Structure 1
Amino acid sequence: FMILLPQLPECWAYRYVPPWPVAKYPEIKTLMKPDRRLVWIVIMMLLSQLAALYLVKDLHWKWVIFWAYVFGSCLNHSMTLAIHEVSHNFAFGHNKSLWNRWFGMLANLPIGVPYSVSFKRYHMDHHRYLGADGIDVDIPTDFEGWFFCTTFRKFMWVVLQPLFYAFRPLFINPKPITSLEIINTSVQIIFNIIIYYVFGVKSLVYMLAASLLGLGLHPISGHFIAEHYMFLKGHETYSYYGPLNYLTFNVGYHNEHHDFPNIPGKNLPLVRKIAAEYYDTLPCYNSWVKVLYDFVMDDTISPYSRIKRPPKGQEVLE
């Protein structure tokens, strides 16, 4: 089912939350500041992946794939969520937006596929127009909802999630290519060529496989489905409060994130603590693995289990 709702105000696009939390707890405003640790964490993650690229260059192929899934996938998926933080300008602040874009390209390097600049453009649409048909590319296409409807097909959809996220924007909401995207792509291609010539083909395959596996059938990938797939009717966005938040910059605090997109992930637990009365009563998850299992096995859930709204200015479809 794809439920169609009217367009809500931009500032509270996914569920109407009055500004009471800030009015009642003004200290929340003090949390709206850059996360200065983010730069050093990303650099350490990048160096760790470079060390891994060196260590796997002479391994047997089976061990290359094994370590790509066991270690590289966790690191690369975590790096994509660091890029999510950078897309909100949490690395250097809003007054240094371009610095954040350059830093996003640096964080993009171990992922192997250029996407940090494009992600920023589409992710802001996701926040402003959550669920808007033809705008929010997080919404699956009609083909995905129609075809991936059986247990096995949904399993394959989970495995292939990174490909759908990569190509879906081209079909739903294509945008003109910008100069920063060209630079992002050029820098990434040069980096990949350097990895190939310095470490060899196994290291390059390890890097790309880590991204494909880490964003597909992987425990951390449960957040893709947990965030906005409607397991309970009437609840569009869900938070996750399990231990994997430590690896994902607290992306699990998703109600809190959409309520306060100017607060970095490290401060989102404080938002929940300060305004507990607004969040403790909402349905939430404690296991992303269970989310993946339930999504695949539950016949009532599919890629169509999302809230969809008409683009702003259009009437609601019956």
Structure 2
Amino acid sequence: MSKKKSFSWSENCEPHKLRTKEIISSHPEIRHLIGRNPYTFLVIVLCVGIQIAMSWILYDESWWFIFPCAYLIGAFACHTLFICIHECSHNLIFKNRVLNTLSGIFANLPLVFPSSVSFQKYHLKHHAFQGIEELDADMPSEWEAKLVNNSTLGKALWLLLYPIVQASRLGRMSKEIKMFDKWVALNYLVQFIFMGLIFYFWQWKAVVYLVASFFFSVGLHPLGARWIQEHFLTHDEDQETKSYYGVLNVVNLNVGYHNEHHDFPSIPWNNLPKIKKIAGPYYDSLGHHRSYTRLLLRFIFDRKLSLYSRMARDNRGKTKATPSNSKSVVNVE
């Protein structure tokens, strides 16, 4: 069976800017969806509360009970907190940037490792320079793709260790982004104090529960299929962003509407479905997913899919733009 040995390369700029202009021209009313949703902070409080409560409940339970709870409860709470941090990075909770940063640091608490401020630094680059390895932290490195290849075991381990893999990509962005400042230091300090208190009061089982929840939430779990859904070439070699229209958008805070989000990153999560409702013809013809579980299994076992199943570009994306692709694509259910 033939396998990909390199990324797919595009000479065009990232695909969302032109479609955004087309949609705004046809549907200027979408501008009214732009804004902020301060109620997202209540979601943060709820999920942080769930994880603290679970840490207290489990600190004296049997070890065998901790991991199922992390997989079935903690992973969902942590994944929602990741999405909330994502909203903070776009300043979509409060008008004040500092309040968004502080909200992200608070949302980071049950995620064990300090990452919210760093995520805010590099995530906007992902939108501006999609597929450019040295600027897009979502883009797999060449060494990752070569190491994992299309191996079933390799892809499963890559997902299981995804937080570590993604952290390893930040070094390549150090020329563009100042990785350490007072906000990063605050993020580290607050996280160190929080985890210290968790260990002091509830010991190792509580810490292990939080660590397991963190890794499951973005790793070898149906929720981890989001990394495949968003930008892997699961339909053809042209469409590099896919949306997810399944039930887990409740947990995802609608970030599954990923084409819609990239087209309009200034619109908060609660309004993303409204974009598709208003501008349906622009999205209905695009390939999408409806099952994370099915996509997770397909990615792991389908030898045609590998880390090379990504669209790459260079020259900082400053190349020609072509009209948005409106051809019909078979939807993967």
Q: Give me the TM-score of the superposition, normalised by structure 1.
A: 0.93
Q: Which structure 2 segments of 5+ residues have no match?
A: 1-5, 321-333
Amino acid at match of 2:103: F
Give, as a single letter, the amino acid of the residue that structure 2 aligns with 1:79: L
Please tell me whether residue 280 in structure 1 is matched to residue 281 in structure 2: no
SS at match of 2:276: helix
Q: Which residue of 2 aligns with 1:5?
A: 10
CA drift at 1:84? 0.6
- Aligned equivalent of 2:182: 179
1:245 aligns with one of 244, 249, 253? 249
Q: 1:33 aligns with which of 32, 35, 38?
A: 35
Q: Tell me whether 1:202 sits opposite 2:175 in the alignment.
A: no
Alpha-carbon distance in structure 2 between the residues aligned to 1:314 and 1:275: 27
Gaps of 5+ in 1: none
AA in 2 matched with 1:27? E
Match of 1:264 among 265, 268, 288: 268
One-letter code of the match for 1:26?
A: P
Matched length: 310
1:134-213 equivalences in 2 (<5 Å): 134-149=134-149, 150-170=151-171, 172-174=172-174, 175-176=177-178, 177-213=180-216
The residue type equivalent to 1:77 in the other structure is H
CA distance in 2, matches of 1:5, 1:56: 50
SS in structure 1 opposite 2:114?
Answer: coil
1:228 maps to 2:231: yes
Of 216, 219, 224, the residue aligned with 2:219 is: 216
Q: For each residue in 1:47-79, what CA deviation from the matched residue of structure 2 results, as whole angstroms up to 9, or x when unmatched? A: 111111110010011111221111111111111
Per the TM alignment, residue 314 of structure 1 is displaced from its structure 2 partner at its CA by 8.0
Distance 1:300 1:259 in 2: 28
Q: Secondary structure of 2:316's match?
A: coil
Deviation at 1:188, TM superposition (A): 0.3
1:57 corresponding residue in structure 2: 59
1:306 has 2:307 as partner: no
1:50-89 matches, cutoff 5 A: 50-89=52-91
Kindly report structure 1 stretches of 4+ aligned residues shifted beyond 2 Å: 12-16, 311-316
In 2, the alpha carbon distance for the partners of 1:49 and 1:142 equals 36
Q: Quick check: 1:135–1:311 contact (8 Å CA) kept in 2?
A: no
Please name the residue that 2:327 is paired with.
Answer: none
8 Å Cα contact 2:133-2:140 kept in structure 1:
no
**CA deviation string 1:28-48 (max 9, x = no partner):** 111101012101111111111
Secondary structure of 1:243 counterpart:
coil
| Offset, 1:92 | 0.3
| Pairwise CA distance, 1:23 | 2.1
CA distance change for structure 1 residues 167 and 188 in 2, over 3 Å: closer, same or farther? same
Give identity over the alignment, percent.
Answer: 34
Q: Does 1:100 align with 2:104?
A: no
Residues 199-239 of structure 1: per-residue CA shift (max 9 Å, x gap) = 22211111111101221111111111110001211110000
Change (3 A) 1:167 1:273: same
Is the CA contact (8 Å cut-off) linking 1:14 and 1:237 kept in structure 2? no
Contact 1:132 1:310 in 2 (8 A): yes
Q: Secondary structure at the match of 2:101?
A: helix
Q: Secondary structure at the match of 2:248?
A: helix
TM-score (ref. length: structure 2): 0.89
Structure 2 Cα separation of the partners of residues 314 and 120 of structure 1: 23
SS at match of 2:8: strand
Q: Is the 8 A contact 1:15 1:236 kept in 2?
A: no
Q: Partners in 2 of 1:116 and 1:4 — Cα distance? A: 31
> Contact 1:113/1:188 (CA < 8 Å) preserved in 2?
yes
**Does the 8 Å CA contact 2:299/2:305 hold for their aligned counterparts?**
yes
AA partner of residue 215 (structure 1): V
By how many angstroms is 1:312 displaced?
Answer: 2.2
What is the CA distance between 1:14 and its match in structure 2?
Answer: 4.8
C-alpha displacement of 1:16? 3.5
Instruction: State the Cα deviation string for residues 230-266 of structure 1 (Å, max 9, x = none).
Output: 1211110000000000001111000000000000111
Residue pair 1:7, 1:310 contacting (<8 A) in 2 also: no
